[in-house]
Every structure is written in C-alpha cells, then in structure tokens.
Amino acid sequence: MKFFVDTADVAEIKALAESGLLDGVTTNPTLVAKSGRKMRDVISEICALVSGPVSAEVAATDHEGMMAEARILREIARNVTIKVPLTPDGLRTCRKLTDDGTMVNVTLCFSPAQALLAAKAGATFVSPFIGRLDDIGEHGMGLIADIMTIFRQYSYLKTEVLVASVRSPLHVVEAAKLGAHVATVPPPVLRQLFNHPLTDKGLANFLADWKKAGLSIA
C-alpha cells in the first residue's frame, strides 16, 4: 500500500518526506485555505519536496471552468494530479485530462457505482471517503470492499483506490487487508501507526540493560 499524507502544511510534509514513508500528497481547498497562502505557491513547494503525485483540487464546478483551472495547476509541476469532484462535469473533465496525459484524482466518492464511473472515465485515482460514511452510520470500509471486488473483475480498469477521510490506524490496516492501493492519511494518524506500548517497553528495557552493563558502541 502507498501512503499519501492529507495536508497542505509544508513543514509537516517535509518532515514526513524525510522519513522515506511518503509516496504522495493530497490537498483540497479547505486545507490550502488553512495555510493562508496562495494555492500555486503551496502546490509548487509541495511538489519540490515529494516526487510522487500531489493532488491539487479545482474550485470550479462546470467543465470549462475545471479545464481552465486544471491547465494552470498542471503547469506547476509534472507530478501535479488534478483533483475533480465526482459529478457529470467532473467526470467529463477527468476523461479530457486523462486523454491529455494528466493524472486525475476523482474525489468525493461515496458509492461503488460512482467508483465504477470514475474508473470508466479514466481516473488515475478514485477517492472513497470512508470516515464521512462512518459518521452517518454507514459502513465506510464496506465501500472499499465493494469497490475492490468490482475492480478485480476487470483487468482493464487501471484506476487506483485511494482511501480518504481516514480517521485512525485501524482504517489504514483494514484498507490494506482489502488490497486498497493508497491511503491518504492526516499527519497525526500517520504518526500513530508507529505506536505500540510493547515497542516502547522493549526499547526502554534494552536501553536500561545497555546502561547497566556500561557498554559503548564507540
């Protein structure tokens, strides 16, 4: 499974990229707005830090407007992935951009039927939002299971399932068990993947034994 980080915080991205664990980045208008900076500047800086796909979302809702914004965004760097909503105009834009050789992330997916439409439109990624489904009493991970089952039936579908709205390490593990291609994770959740009390306890014991023995590597 590939790990993307879901943030527009350049400092966070830089720190995580240096860990070697980061395969890409997703952003959205809300995250960019929180940065208080111009979108072009934020995306350009992120693309310089991460060699993998960097999703930059259009704000327009009509096809022509999406295409106009996409032309601007994809000029920023070669690894920019244009993020479009899962609407008729969004899928029309997806097909056009894909045919032009641009990576596309179709976002706000909440059903298997929508995911299939995104794949038919040639999306590089489709982003099902599992946390938001859980929030309204639906089974977010069930959506991932359904999409993966459908996609496996058709080898010609090359769209990768990018699990979004991830709320916990359990979401990441369950998505990986189902074979999802990518999880995009907020920085705090990504760091939680490191945590286990037995790891901390074991390390403390090793260090105590080392100090007690008076040993030195040097």
Q: Which residues are catalytic?
A: 83
Q: Give residue 17's region: left, alpha or beta (phi > 0; psi -120 to 50).
A: alpha
User: The tokens of 195 are what?
Assistant: 């945590």
Backbone angles phi, psi at 57, to 5 degrees: -95, 140
User: The tokens of 158 are what?
Assistant: 């090359």
Distance between CA atoms of residues 31 and 119, nearest Å: 26
Distance between CA atoms of residues 131 and 137, nearest Å: 10
Instruction: Write out 199-210 in H/E/C secondary structure.
Output: HHHHHHHHHHHH
Distance between CA atoms of residues 166 and 191, nearest Å: 13
Specify which residues 162 forms β-bridges with: 182
Distance between CA atoms of residues 122 and 145, nearest Å: 21
- Per DSSP, helices labelled H in the chain are 10-18, 29-35, 39-49, 63-74, 88-99, 112-120, 130-135, 140-152, 169-177, 187-192, 197-213
